Chain A
């Protein structure tokens, strides 16, 4: 393999990984933009979404198969179910806390995430659950680069979902209301916007996107685990921060950047140049978390975020 082959390969891996990060990061950023809450439970919605997709697929597979069509249909059902789960979580756990001190609401969010995580631990006994999709292994060769159809479909679906979200936020009335609430909640209420409905829609969309990512990840990687939301939750938050939290294009960009950074970092090895530095796969998470800390320290507003002087 030449340097160029490695480069294109990692580029592809980075884009696939980045699509997952971006989908999950969008939920973080939207919720943060509208209610200024860091939803710790968001990564768990990705995990529960994966399991929901799996459940639907195991019911539907005898009728429509477990190929991409079956997975896509299951994904839609999972998105709706987890979207409502997100709304319920907001109503039950967050809404009563929005005026409480910062520390209380952060701990509540953590508690919600633990409930989801440990609930799934109890249901699955901590075992990996095979997703049971049959996606096939076809693909096309571009020179030495092999792109599987799965990778292509996955990235296109992610892109389509993000495009749809962008259209929703920029073109529809609800999208406009969402942007207004993000700027000033009280003023929006005075202008006749139903703020609670906007918050519900925001949670619904964010959670649905996480569920889409969870179902696709389950189908793509072939298995589910109760703890799989933890790491991606942290990574997606990193992505949202890189792009500038609160900014929707920022979350997409941040996801892609983090995916690429990570897949290139696994190849980073300076030992040939006499520098004892190698990231490799065992250090890649350390690498991502370090990126998170560095960005928060040096540019907490991210690439596309607005600077706001606000202390909570």
Chain B
């Protein structure tokens, strides 16, 4: 992403404070403590919404690797989410598999899906890639809707929630903590990846593909890795989503879902993890407060997205270029 010249502003000052490492630890610890305490001090409604926001944190972290780290626009990310959810739904329902056996299967299938769609298309120019992923997302949704095995338009119901060491994870608060743990793990993995050899390769490819290739980086393999890691995040989110709701249908994985996940990534600042978390909470919580305005809320969101792209293209809370 192009870096805008840093403007001194109140907002910039705040984000500068939040960006200093020592303060960051303090802020993280306080936030985490608040998140742990949250379900005990608020009512069930808030818990459910925040659980949903945490799911979006997981999904958006995955898409952030594809879009933010590797710089590839994926408009069909819900497809990986769907693969995860449907794998769990089908294997636990029809084959009587335990959730914990279904989960790795979901990850495997999503990775395979990532490789299948990535291998032929990652050589394409970026706008072709965007539309191919869009088409791919629609193919997955339509397939889920048309096949008998996936339950057609009504989907799969009665998916059993998992047991952990004899404890049945089933209440809303249980799932709140499941998604909180997933989100925290997801953040740790994302941070570690960004600072890894692969993470640096992504950064390089994003900034200048040709130069990266000249330096010996296999750009197709590096992009494919981003795709697969993103797919894994998506499928894990999908698997727990299916276990949480107990019912899935094709319309949970439509283009609108893909766009919402993308919005989370862009809103908070492409490539930056605190931005992704912030974005997830804005995208999921804002519509709850905007319920009164009905269908208009999607329009407000779209206008917001456009304004951000035009006036603050690196997001509300952009990544500061350290290198």
Which A residues lie at the B interface, using CB under 8 A?
37-38, 40, 92-93, 96-97, 100-104, 106-108, 110-112, 114-115, 117-119, 121-122, 125-126, 230, 234, 237-238, 241, 282-283, 285-286, 289-290, 292-293, 296-297, 300, 310-312
Contacts and interface: CB of A to CB of B under 8 A. Distances in A.
Nearest to B206: A103
B123 to A, nearest CB: 8
Contacts of A100: 2, 313
A283 B139 CA distance: 9
Interface string B299-323: 1011101100110010000000000
B209 A115 contact: no
Given A115-B302, A121-B298, 16 more contacts: A38-B130, A40-B130, A97-B309, A106-B73, A108-B309, A110-B262, A114-B302, A114-B306, A118-B299, A119-B299, A230-B255, A241-B128, A282-B146, A289-B139, A292-B132, A296-B124
B266 interface: yes
Contact of A103 (B67, B120, B310): B67
A278 to B, nearest CB: 11
Contact of B126 (A103, A292, A297): A103
Contact of A38 (B131, B138, B294): B131
B75 interface: yes
Contact of B121 (A92, A110, A117, A297): A297
26 contacts: A38-B128, A93-B306, A96-B310, A101-B2, A102-B127, A103-B67, A104-B309, A106-B73, A106-B126, A107-B262, A111-B302, A111-B305, A111-B306, A114-B259, A114-B302, A117-B302, A118-B299, A118-B302, A122-B294, A122-B298, A241-B128, A289-B139, A292-B131, A300-B128, A311-B125, A312-B127
B177 interface: no
B73 A103 contact: yes
Nearest to A312: B125
Given A101-B2, A110-B75, A115 B306 contact: yes
B180 to A, nearest CB: 29
B43 interface: no
Interface residues of B, number: 45
Contacts of B255: 230
A115 B298 CA distance: 8
Interface in B188-213: 209-210
B178 interface: no
B120 A286 contact: no
B299 A122 contact: yes
B286 to A, nearest CB: 14
Interface of B: 1-2, 67, 71, 73, 75, 120-121, 124-128, 130-132, 134-136, 138-139, 142-143, 145-146, 209-210, 255, 259, 262, 266, 270, 294-296, 298-299, 301-303, 305-306, 309-310, 313
A296 B121 contact: yes
Nearest to A298: B120
Contacts, number: 126
B305 to A, nearest CB: 4
A283 B147 CA distance: 10
Nearest to B67: A103
B28 to A, nearest CB: 28
Contact of B306 (A112, A125, A310, A311): A112
A122 to B, nearest CB: 5
Contacts of A122: 294-296, 298-299
Nearest to A238: B135
A108 B310 contact: yes
Nearest to B255: A230
A258 to B, nearest CB: 13
A111 B300 CA distance: 11
A272 to B, nearest CB: 20
A219 B194 CA distance: 53
Contact of B131 (A102, A108, A237, A290): A237
* Interface-centre pick from B145, B309, B313 (highest chain A CB count, 10 A): B309
A126 B295 contact: yes
A173 to B, nearest CB: 30
A201 to B, nearest CB: 22
A115 B134 CA distance: 18
A194 to B, nearest CB: 24
Contacts of A117: 302
A296 B128 contact: yes
Contacts of A125: 294-295
B303 A115 contact: yes
A261 B295 CA distance: 36
Contacts of B266: 107
A103 B146 CA distance: 33
Nearest to A113: B302
A108 B255 CA distance: 17
Nearest to B213: A311
